[in-house]
Chains A and B, each alone.
Chain A
C-alpha cells in the first residue's frame, strides 16, 4: 500500500526533496509528485480525479474544525455468520482505520451547517451492509430532527453480499429515511464519486434533490462486465461515466473537486441553509 492510499488524516503537505514519492496517473500516464497531488485535492494536472479517503474528503469539504462525527461506534457484526466475513472485516478495519464504509456527522460548509456523510472506498469498496444502512438512516433522521440539509458523497460497489438480505433491505430503509427528510422540506445534495454502483445507485445516491458527480466517475447500476456478458454487445465509449449519466439526464452537473466546496456552500445558501421555507 503506497503513501497515497494510507493518507487521509494528515494535514497540509510538507515540502519534499527531489527524491519524493510519485504516483502514476492512469489517465495521462505521467508520474506526479505526491505533494503536488495532495495540494490539489488528489486531482492530477490533467484533470484525473484519484480516489480519496473519506476523512481526507471531509477535511477538504468541511470548514476547518467544524466536523463532529456521529454514530461512529456502529459497525456490522457478521449477522449471517458468512464464511470468511469476520476475518475480512477485521483486516479491512486494521488497514483502513475505519470501522465501517461510511463516515457520518455534522459539519459546516462555507459556514452553512449541514449533516454530512462520506462513503469510504478503502472499506470493502463502500459496500452497504446493515451498519452503513443504519448510519445513513440515522443521519437522515437526525437531520429531520434538527432541520438540517444533508450533503452526501457516495462511493460504493453496491450492497454487501456477506450480509445477504439484510444488506438488500438497507436500500428500502435508507430510501424511506430520505423520503421522510424530503417530505419535511429539507434539502439533500448527493455527490457521486468513483465508483457509485449497484444498490447504492438504486437507492440514496439517486434520491437527492440535487445530484452532482465528479468528472470521470463510474456511475451505474449493473456492472459493466455483467452487462457485456448478458447482452453480448460491446459497450459504447464512455459507458457508465459521470459524463454518460449527465448526457442521459440522471445528474444535475459534473463538479470537479477543487470547486466543490464553494459550489456546495452556494447551493446550501440558496436554500436558506437547506431548510426550504
Chain B
C-alpha cells in the first residue's frame, strides 16, 4: 500500500478524535497528534485500535509509545502491513 494512501486513511480515522479541526487542513508527516491536532491522550489508544481494525493489523502495547506524529502512524502501519 502506498504511503499517501495510508496517510489519507489515517487522517480519516483521526478526524472524529481531533479537537482542532482546522489543523486537519494542513496535516503533514510531522503533525503532532496531541500538540497540533489536540487529540485527547486518553483517546489515543482508541485511535490505534481503529488502525488495527481498518488495516487488519495487530499493534503491540509498546508500539503505542512510538506514535507521536502522523508520520509515526504511517510508518508503524506500513511496518505491520
A and B from one complex: no
Residues of A near any B CB (own CB < 8 A):
none
Interface residues of B (CB under 8 A from A): none
